[in-house]
A and B are shown apart, each in its own frame.
Chain A
Amino acid sequence: MSWYTFEERVIPLDDWIQFGVDWLVENHRDFFQFIKYPVEQSVDGISWLLIFMNPWLIILTFAVLTWKFAGRITTFFTIFTFILIGLLGLWEDTMTTLSMVLVSVLFCAIVGIPLGIASGRRDRFDTFLRPILDTMQTTPAFVYLIPVVMLFSIGTVSGVIATIVFAMPPIVRLTNLGIRQVHPELVEAGEAFGATPLQVLIRVQIPQAWPSIMAGLNQTIMMALSMVVIAALIGAGGLGTPVFQGLNNLNIGLATIGGLGIVLLAMVLDRITQGMGK
């Protein structure tokens, strides 16, 4: 039997990876706990705030946001949505999901927008970053779910970290695109009037790229919401839990209202962030 018959594994990559992850878990757990800390603190803080706040105050906050960015009809829709969620008994799950989404999107924006700007301004960085983004976007979540749990243990934080990995690429890509689409003559005009590179970025490129960056944020939020059910598999809680439980017990009704909650929340967040880009 020779290697070129392709009948058995010649490169034991799976063993290497297994070994690598085990090694990381054994020797570098401290480092991953250190990464975990800010995520954990913000998730705990925000979900505590959302769950213990008066629901009507939250509805009011969202109504005002929708009013400001998306107009009157959407505002009625938002109020109706949140009341329906409350009446369906999904309030607490929804707030957990919302806090996870907010935290993961926050981290995606903090890391993703600067990465997008850097790759928009430097072709070589773009070439370097693109395959990494492809990997993040296409690797099935189940593949990295186990290592994430091994490194960060079960619970909400693991869910958020898995979500960050999956949801970050759109905001990086669309920020990159937005920066690249700024007319070169506007950059030139900035330079001609004595703008430093930082001034070109802040006063010309970012304002021009703003709609595109907001579209990226919107897509990141949508991706984050689509991770909710998968995150529930590793004990993240939230709206994924009823879906997951419903599937396990063949309880179609329970799975459906969980799904409905996710869809409604997605629509509200989508309308608000789309309005921000305009």
Chain B
Amino acid sequence: MLDKGMDKEEIFKETGMTVGVQDANFSVRTGEIFVVMGLSGSGKSTLVRMLNRLIEITSGAVFVNGRNVADLNQKELTELRRTQMSMVFQSFALMPHLSVIDNAAFGLALAKVEKTKQQERAMEALEQVGLGAWADSFPHELSGGMQQRVGLARALAVDPQIMLMDEAFSALDPLIRTEMQDQLLSLQEKHKRTIVFISHDLDEAMRIGDRIAIMEGGRIVQVGTPDEILQNPANDYVQAFFRGVDPTSILVAGDIARETQITVIKFPGKGPRAALQRLISHDREFGYVLDKSKRFLGVVSTDSLKEMITNNTKIDDFSDAFLENVTPVNADDSMQDILDEVVTRPWPVPVLNEEKQYVGVISKNIFLRTLQQNTTN
């Protein structure tokens, strides 16, 4: 019916059935965390269930390693689910009658792996999520976060290439959620799996996603890296996501630092007079001193340079003119982290990357404008 050009509402009127997912074309790269984001009812849970055919695919195709999942027979599908693709659920979906280790071994038991081997691999998975000591407990004895670790261990135990995570951390409180995200990232560092992660939480998507797909009304409206989507939202729907989202928790110092604002004085070579001259001609009060490889050395002001010249220091060194209390911030510090520094210092705060190289500065102006942009649009 979609092929005939009818839209979702028309089909619903005629048949009473809802189109769950349509026009969802995307590819997930091996070893990446691909986050599918959308509001509830946007079809993301349906989408992820089509990947392992918990929900039948009525038209279209899902390719895993070149094989179309939609064409698999029941036996091949079972095999795929047992060995290549496992799943973590929002509600944890642990078996209440099984101990933690038996829950972790659940997929292996279904695949009829030998009993001792099952226990061994389940234990390994439990240790990866830090629950080795809880193997003989039962799910109801664990906290929500721990239960979801068991869910994660169950998915890891079958050693899948692909993990589907359906709002896996949404039922957890924010602190535990962050902790679980970190755990997932560190697991990913040790052993890269391809993860399709469903979320309605933008912060989460930004935090763990290598790439993000945004869904609306069963369609994928945009796919891109977090930065791409943030800086270039495809339409109002995507942009609406960022409304109400606290920019200070998503944007890091590196995102908002500007290099063009302030004159940079290379060191050594030219002396303080030349430096002062440049500051005055560009109508700037502060100058940022770097070495040849752009490493940050310190901040000078027109006043401190004048003083240095008056004292007639002969040395070709700016160190006498450096202002005190200059604390550069790191490019990956969040806006929240740097707030204090930006507000209390008269000079725009310098931002450095991991190699201590100068990236740019953040002035009070830029900082406030970023806040404003994200709250009013």
Contacts A189-B87, A199-B110, A203-B110: A194 and B93 contacting too (C-beta < 8 A)? Answer: no
Which residue of A is nearest B154, CB measured? A193
Whether, in the assembled complex, B262 has its beta carbon less than 8 Å from a beta carbon of chain A, the answer is no
**Shortest CB distance B53–A (Å):** 9
Q: Which residues of B in the span 82-126 have a Cβ within 8 Å of any Cβ on A?
A: 82-83, 86-87, 89, 91, 93-97, 106-107, 109-111
Kindly state the separation between the CA atoms of A210 and B98 in the bound complex, as whole angstroms.
Answer: 13
Contacts A195-B110, A203-B110: A189 and B93 contacting too (C-beta < 8 A)? Answer: yes
Whether, in the assembled complex, B257 has its beta carbon less than 8 Å from a beta carbon of chain A, the answer is no
**Shortest CB distance A189–B (Å):** 4
Pairwise interchain contact B109-A194, C-beta atoms closer than 8 A: no
Whether, in the assembled complex, A208 has its beta carbon less than 8 Å from a beta carbon of chain B, the answer is yes
Pairwise interchain contact B93-A183, C-beta atoms closer than 8 A: yes
Pairwise interchain contact B86-A193, C-beta atoms closer than 8 A: yes
**Shortest CB distance B99–A (Å):** 13
0/1 string, A149-190, CB within 8 A of B gives 1: 000000000000000000000000000000000010110111
Q: Which of B79, B86, B91, B95 contacts A192 (CB 8 A)?
A: B86
Whether, in the assembled complex, B39 has its beta carbon less than 8 Å from a beta carbon of chain A, the answer is no
Whether, in the assembled complex, A207 has its beta carbon less than 8 Å from a beta carbon of chain B, the answer is yes
Contacts A192-B81, A193-B86: A186 and B110 contacting too (C-beta < 8 A)? Answer: no
Which residue of A is nearest B164, CB measured? A192
Which residue of A is nearest B90, CB measured? A185
Task: Select the residue from B80, B87, B158 with max chain A CB neighbours within 10 A.
Answer: B87
Pairwise interchain contact B158-A193, C-beta atoms closer than 8 A: yes
Instruction: Specify the main secondary structure of chain B where it touches its partner.
Output: mixed
Whether, in the assembled complex, B78 has its beta carbon less than 8 Å from a beta carbon of chain A, the answer is yes
What A residues does B93 contact at CB under 8 A? 183, 185-186, 188-189
Pairwise interchain contact A204-B89, C-beta atoms closer than 8 A: no
Contacts A185-B91, A188-B89, A189-B89: A194 and B97 contacting too (C-beta < 8 A)? Answer: no
Task: Select the residue from A183, A195, A196, A199 with max chain B CB neighbours within 10 A.
Answer: A195
Kindly state the separation between the CA atoms of A191 and B54 in the bound complex, as whole angstroms.
Answer: 7
Q: Which residues of A in the span 183-227 have a Cβ within 8 Å of any Cβ on B?
A: 183, 185-186, 188-196, 199, 203-204, 207-208, 210
**Shortest CB distance A154–B (Å):** 46
0/1 string, B49-82, CB within 8 A of A gives 1: 0001010000000000000000000000011111
Which residue of A is nearest B160, CB measured? A193
**Shortest CB distance A201–B (Å):** 13
Q: Which residues of A in the span 226-262 have a Cβ within 8 Å of any Cβ on B?
A: none
Contacts A193-B154, A193-B158: A203 and B82 contacting too (C-beta < 8 A)? Answer: no
Kindly state the separation between the CA atoms of A204 and B82 in the bound complex, as whole angstroms.
Answer: 16
Q: Which of B87, B91, B96 contacts A193 (CB 8 A)?
A: B87
Q: Which of A192, A203, A210 contacts B52 (CB 8 A)?
A: A192
Contacts A193-B82, A193-B107, A194-B107: A208 and B54 contacting too (C-beta < 8 A)? Answer: no
Kindly state the separation between the CA atoms of A196 and B52 in the bound complex, as whole angstroms.
Answer: 14
Interface band, chain B: 20 to 34
Pairwise interchain contact A203-B54, C-beta atoms closer than 8 A: no
Kindly state the separation between the CA atoms of A199 and B82 in the bound complex, as whole angstroms.
Answer: 13
Pairwise interchain contact A208-B91, C-beta atoms closer than 8 A: no
Kindly state the separation between the CA atoms of A56 and B305 in the bound complex, as whole angstroms.
Answer: 108
Pairwise interchain contact B89-A194, C-beta atoms closer than 8 A: no
Contacts A189-B89, A191-B81: A207 and B54 contacting too (C-beta < 8 A)? Answer: no
Pairwise interchain contact A196-B109, C-beta atoms closer than 8 A: no
Pairwise interchain contact A196-B78, C-beta atoms closer than 8 A: yes
Which residue of A is nearest B53, CB measured? A191
What B residues does A207 contact at CB under 8 A? 95, 97
Q: Which residues of B in the span 219-238 have a Cβ within 8 Å of any Cβ on A?
A: none
0/1 string, B148-173, CB within 8 A of A gives 1: 00000010001000001000000000
Pairwise interchain contact A194-B78, C-beta atoms closer than 8 A: yes
What A residues does B109 contact at CB under 8 A? 203
**Shortest CB distance B363–A (Å):** 51
Pairwise interchain contact A193-B89, C-beta atoms closer than 8 A: no
Which residue of B is nearest A211, CB measured? B97
0/1 string, B256-295, CB within 8 A of A gives 1: 0000000000000000000000000000000000000000
What B residues does A193 contact at CB under 8 A? 81-82, 86-87, 106-107, 110, 154, 158
What A residues does B78 contact at CB under 8 A? 194-196
**Shortest CB distance A193–B (Å):** 4
Q: Which residues of A in the span 117-164 have a Cβ within 8 Å of any Cβ on B?
A: none
Which residue of A is nearest B84, CB measured? A194
What B residues does A189 contact at CB under 8 A? 87, 89, 93-95, 106
**Shortest CB distance A216–B (Å):** 18
**Shortest CB distance B237–A (Å):** 29
What A residues does B107 contact at CB under 8 A? 193-194
What B residues does A208 contact at CB under 8 A? 95-97
Kindly state the separation between the CA atoms of A54 and B83 in the bound complex, as whole angstroms.
Answer: 57
Q: Which residues of B in the span 171-206 have a Cβ within 8 Å of any Cβ on A?
A: none
**Shortest CB distance B50–A (Å):** 12
Kindly state the separation between the CA atoms of A196 and B73 in the bound complex, as whole angstroms.
Answer: 13
Extra 11 A-B pairs, beta carbons < 8 Å, given A189-B93, A203-B106, A204-B95: A183-B91, A189-B106, A192-B86, A192-B89, A193-B82, A193-B158, A194-B80, A194-B81, A194-B107, A194-B110, A210-B97
The 9 closest A-B pairs by CB, nearest first: A194-B82, A194-B81, A189-B93, A193-B107, A192-B87, A207-B97, A185-B93, A194-B78, A185-B91
A-B contact pairs, 18 of them (CB 8 A): A183-B93, A185-B93, A186-B93, A189-B87, A189-B94, A191-B54, A192-B81, A193-B86, A193-B106, A193-B158, A194-B79, A194-B80, A194-B110, A203-B95, A203-B106, A203-B110, A208-B95, A208-B96
- Taking Cβ atoms with an 8 Å cutoff, the residues of A that contact B are 183, 185-186, 188-196, 199, 203-204, 207-208, 210
- Taking Cβ atoms with an 8 Å cutoff, the residues of B that contact A are 52, 54, 78-83, 86-87, 89, 91, 93-97, 106-107, 109-111, 154, 158, 164
